Amino acid sequence: GPKVLQIPSHQIIDMGQMVTLNCDPVSNHLYFYWYKQILGQQMEFLVNFYNGKVMEKSKLFKDQFSVERPDGSYFTLKIQPTALEDSAVYFCASSLWGGKDTQYFGPGTRLLVL
Amino acid sequence: GDSVTQTEGQVALSEEDFLTIHCNYSASGYPALFWYVQYPGEGPQFLFRASRDKEKGSSRGFEATYDKGTTSFHLRKASVQESDSAVYYCALGDLRQGGRALIFGTGTTVSVSP
């Protein structure tokens, strides 16, 4: 199926530092998403993004979080500053359209905040 | 709010056993239902979806029928293999809304022994 890439696969940083997670979505997709999964728990939605704007965000998407996709490059999730509770696996997804259209997920970035 | 319930947290089977994972949903809009499978260290992989009453989705020997009356989308496979060991997620989308977040169930860990 369609491939979503994520860079890096693992990241360890100290609390208070900034981190940027990068996502290379499927090339013709228009909608982009970030989800968070704490070890052993279910996937939880953070934010979605379309046409250069955040469309919807959850309570988990704190003020320290931001997303962008400058000029069709990577779709990024930035956390500044990081907190211990940000340790999780972050999955990027993309879909061609919204609604019932399928979201395809990347392999995740495993973030550990010390 | 909208929600997805997966009854089974863990299922242990032997090869060639029949698998059933129950998924029920509650939605106020126009639901689309999805099944994803997640292997260790990877992102969720799309299995199939359905968005109309009595529509059947299927892939790799797995199948589920969307039942609007019972608000269910139960996953079934007639004869499992060791390679089917993974976590299975039922997810809920919305037909109306572009780029709507998926709501995931808590996941079912399936372990198949040879």
pLDDT tens, residue order, chain B (114 aa): 889 999 999 999 999 999 999 999 999 888 899 999 999 889 999 999 999 999 999 999 999 999 999 999 999 999 999 999 999 999 998 877 666 788 999 999 999 999
Gap between the Cα atoms of B63 and B87, Å rounded: 16
Residues of B whose CB is below 8 A from A30:
99
Say how far apart CA B13 and CA B33 lie, in whole Å. 25
Query: How many helices (H) and strands (E) are present in chain A, helices listed first?
Result: 0, 11
DSSP B67: B
CA distance B3 to chain A (A): 12
Is the per-residue pLDDT at A72 higher than 80?
Answer: no
Question: What pLDDT sits at residue A80?
Answer: 97
**Nearest to A35, CA basis, from B32, B21, B74, B89:** B89
Interface of A with B (CB under 8 A): 1, 4, 30-31, 33, 35, 41-45, 48-50, 55-56, 58, 91, 93, 95, 97-100, 102-108
Burial class (CB in 10 A: 0-12, 13-18, 19+), B111: middle
- Report the 10 Å Cβ neighbour count for B13: 18
Closest-CA residue to B48 (of B77, B70, B68)? B77
**CA–CA distance from A101 to each of A23, B41, B49, B57, B94 (Å)?**
19, 25, 9, 14, 9
Minimum-distance CB partner of B102 among A30, A97, A103: A103
Q: What is the pLDDT of residues A10-65, one digit of tens each?
A: 999 999 999 999 999 999 899 999 999 998 788 999 999 998 999 999 999 999 99
CA B37-B38-B40 angle, to 5 degrees, is 150
Alpha carbon of B69: minimum distance to chain A alpha carbons (Å): 20
Higher pLDDT, A100 or A70: A70
Q: From the list A98, A99, A107, which residue is nearest B43 (CB)?
A: A107
CB atoms within 10 A of CB A54: 13
What is the identity of the amino acid at B82?
E
**Could you identify the residue written with the tokens 């529509």?**
B55
